[in-house]
Every structure is written in structure tokens, then in C-alpha cells.
Amino acid sequence: MPGRPAGTAVSFYGIVVDAHDLPSLARFWCQVLDWEVLFEADDEIVIGADKSAVPGITFVPVPEKKTVKNRLHIDLAPDDQAVEVERIIGLGARRVDIGQRADVRWVLPADPEGNEFCVLTPKNSLID
């Protein structure tokens, strides 16, 4: 698999998101990431850039709505943070406050089901 160091037995494949309304949440994330629905059933929707590009996101049903802050979240690295934040808000996200400082360099929206994610400043590496 491309990007896997020699001798590594595992690679990052995808993220699974519990969802109350799978089709709606999958459509939101497809619009945010310019991805497509790759598989859809009543109990699972898989989205990705294409069927052989990893990672992807899988949405699975849960009866309850989200009630607490995520323990894991997605970070997005845009070319232009302000433009992307406004676009994402226009798609149905909303800004949230989880107690972050006013001087942070990221913006914290939540998707239509309340899952927090970060829109970072433009990035060229994992550590800049």
C-alpha cells in the first residue's frame, strides 16, 4: 500500500462516525471534502475521494444524538482558512465553543449532528 513504511503491518484505513441521520451527515461531509458516496446501505454509508483512496469515512447508525464533546476529531487543512470556514458554515456547520482560548490558530465548527472538527491554518507538514 502506498505510504506504508517497509515492515509496517498496519495502515490508517478510515474513521467510523456514529450518526443519527446517515444520509444527511454523509452528504455534508461529501460537500466539505469534495468526496463522494462510495457505498450506501441502511446500516452503513462509506464516503471517500474514490474507492481506492484511503482514508475514508464510514457512517453507522445510532439511535441517540451526540451529547458530549468528541474524544476524537478531524482536522482540516485548507488553502484559505477564512474562506473554508465560511463555506463549511454555509453547508450547515456551526461554530462551537468548548473553552478554547481566544488566540488559537484554528476554528472549531461542529457538523450538523454536533461533531466538532478543526479548520486549521494552511499546513505544509504535520508539525508546522
pLDDT of residue 3: 65
What pLDDT score was predicted for residue 32? 98
CATH C-level class of 1-64: alpha beta
In the prediction, which pLDDT does 19 show? 95
**Which regions in the chain score pLDDT beneath 50?**
none
Quote the pTM value. Answer: 0.88
* Domain ranges within the chain, ordered by starting residue: 1-64, 66-128
| Topology, domain 66-128 | 2,3-Dihydroxybiphenyl 1,2-Dioxygenase; domain 1 (3.10.180)
Exposure letters 80-108 (e unless 16+ CB within 10 A, then b): ebeebbeebeebbbeeeeeeeeeeeeebb
